[in-house]
Amino acid sequence: MDDHSDDRGGMRRDAATDSPPTRYDRASVRRPRAAQFAGAATGVGVLGIEICQSVQALDNSVPLVALKPTMVRVYLDETTVAASLRLRGELCLRQSATGPATYLAGINELKLDPADALALDDKRENLKASLNFHLPETALQAGPLIVELNRLIQIGGADQPFTGAAPVAVELIAGPPIRVRCIGLRYIDPQSGGVHVPDAIHFDYFRSYLSRAYPVPAVEWSQIVVDANFAPPFQGATAVLANAQIAAIRNSEINSGTDPRTHYYGLVDDANGQHFMRGRASGIPAGPQPDTVASGPCGIPAGFAGDQDQSYADWYGAHELGHTYGRFHPGFPPGAQDASDPAFPYANGQLSNADRKYVGYDVGDPQLGLEPKVMSGTTHHDVMTYADRQWVSAYTFEAIRQRLADEDAQFAPPVA
């Protein structure tokens, strides 16, 4: 093969061409850039690296589920820079200390300003106050993962040295998907004759919430709509009737070959608030029992429990489904909810105690227009409470993860 490069790395003209030389025939000139380090002598201080799924602590003590969408956040110390600067970051990912490395660019730019310093706890509750990285699926396989900050890149300047960035080693734990069969129950209003059926948006929000909040790599989902065997006015026992119908459907479908690990949930439209059916699970099993069913309402929240999006089917359904995985009520708000789970560890049903150890993370859903966000552990509450602004605490996350694993092992259908 002909070699068209000279010793300086530029392109030579081919002797067979009569074309005059152009600037593309000459080696590009890279002028040295003056160092523009704006930090202290030892470099920009790194305060921590947090590997986040649904909820996490700065010490990365919450277990991580393999193949679940994961964000890495790197926190920097503004007090270690002399002047404002804009930075981007790059991570180094390895499966072992001596294994091959993968390098990952961040998804955002961070302005670091010594005049606008935030405490670390405040940074964790502000998604814009960290360098953020979405881990690729290749880095989310079950097994060890070592995450290290590799570069701090100043926008318009030289790379910045940094200090305090010890590698973080975690273990990604293989886990089963959650298997859900969601059944919309269509009913007729006996007074108006109107037919009420859950809109598609309510199924979508419920499925999305489970994928984002629950400790699972995926949601194996199916849905149908059937005629309900009940009608308004709804009473306290209406959900019992709904669950009996859902259980009968489940028994028939499991006998016909549906995966026995599938949990069944009934969805009942609230007819714009006219016919609200209070949700209920058929039981709270002490051990793996996927034949425990549940049902609940759906509709537009309009501020219900602090919810301002297009459906409350998501957190409401996650609550009732949580019962089918053995989760009880933490007892909050007091007087509004029984305290059937005395072991719940956080004050007031929150995601965290006053130490702000835990922060909730929602990766969002572009298809539903839901942006990624972080949730303060002291202003958001566990999904098993009746309190406002619900998400999954570390306590509930780990308990459901363990129950899913137990059900997967005990009820897996035989391999043909």
- B/e letters for 65-77, b = 16+ CB within 10 Å, e = fewer, are bbbbbbbbbbbbb
- When the pLDDT of each residue in the chain is averaged and rounded to a whole number, the result is 91
- Three-class DSSP category at 133: strand
pLDDT band of 42, cuts 50, 70, 90: confident
Region of poorest pLDDT, from 27-41, 73-87, 255-269? 27-41
Query: Cα separation of 191 and 180, whole Å?
Result: 33
Residue with tokens 């859902």: 246
- Is 277 in contact with 234 (CB distance < 8 Å)? yes
The token pair at 267 is: 């969805």
DSSP state letter for 366: G
Query: Cα separation of 246 and 169, whole Å?
Result: 44
pLDDT band of 415, cuts 50, 70, 90: confident
User: What's the average model confidence in pLDDT over 139-149?
Assistant: 98
C-alpha distance across the termini of the chain, in Å: 56
User: What's the average model confidence in pLDDT over 85-103?
Assistant: 96
Decide if pLDDT at 325 tops 50. Answer: yes
Decide if pLDDT at 59 tops 80. Answer: yes
pLDDT at 16: 36
Query: Cα separation of 151 and 13, whole Å?
Result: 38
Query: Cα separation of 322 and 316, whole Å?
Result: 10
pLDDT at 11: 35
pLDDT band of 397, cuts 50, 70, 90: very high
The amino acid at residue 290 is P
Among candidates 155, 165, 163, 159, which has minimal Cα distance to 84? 155
Query: Cα separation of 192 and 178, whole Å?
Result: 38
Among candidates 217, 212, 144, 134, which has minimal Cα distance to 391? 212
Among candidates 140, 146, 157, 147, which has minimal Cα distance to 74? 147
Among candidates 189, 195, 257, 252, which has minimal Cα distance to 225? 195
- B/e letters for 291-317, b = 16+ CB within 10 Å, e = fewer, are bbbbbbbbbbbeebbebeebbbbbbbb
Residue 120 CB neighbour total at 10 angstroms: 13
pLDDT band of 382, cuts 50, 70, 90: very high
Predicted TM-score (pTM) of the model is 0.89
pLDDT at 374: 98
DSSP state letter for 370: B
User: What's the average model confidence in pLDDT over 189-210?
Assistant: 97
* Contacts of residue 219, Cβ cutoff 8 Å, sequence gap at least 6: 177, 178, 180, 207, 210, 211
User: What's the average model confidence in pLDDT over 199-206?
Assistant: 98
pLDDT at 416: 66
Compute the C-alpha angle 298/299/301, nearest 5°.
Answer: 115
pLDDT digits (tens, 9 = 90+) for 63-87: 999 999 999 999 999 999 999 999 9
- Is 246 in contact with 164 (CB distance < 8 Å)? no
Compute the C-alpha angle 246/250/254, nearest 5°.
Answer: 180
pLDDT digits (tens, 9 = 90+) for 112-140: 999 999 999 999 999 999 999 999 999 99
User: What's the average model confidence in pLDDT over 321-347?
Assistant: 97
- B/e letters for 217-227, b = 16+ CB within 10 Å, e = fewer, are bebebebeeee
Region of poorest pLDDT, from 35-49, 54-68, 214-228, 284-298? 35-49
Decide if pLDDT at 1 tops 70. Answer: no
| 73 strand-pairing partners | 50, 132
CA distances, 167 to each of 161, 192, 233 (Å): 16, 65, 60
Residue with tokens 């309900």: 228
pLDDT digits (tens, 9 = 90+) for 336-371: 999 999 999 999 999 999 999 999 999 999 999 999
Decide if pLDDT at 8 tops 90. Answer: no
pLDDT at 219: 98
pLDDT at 6: 36
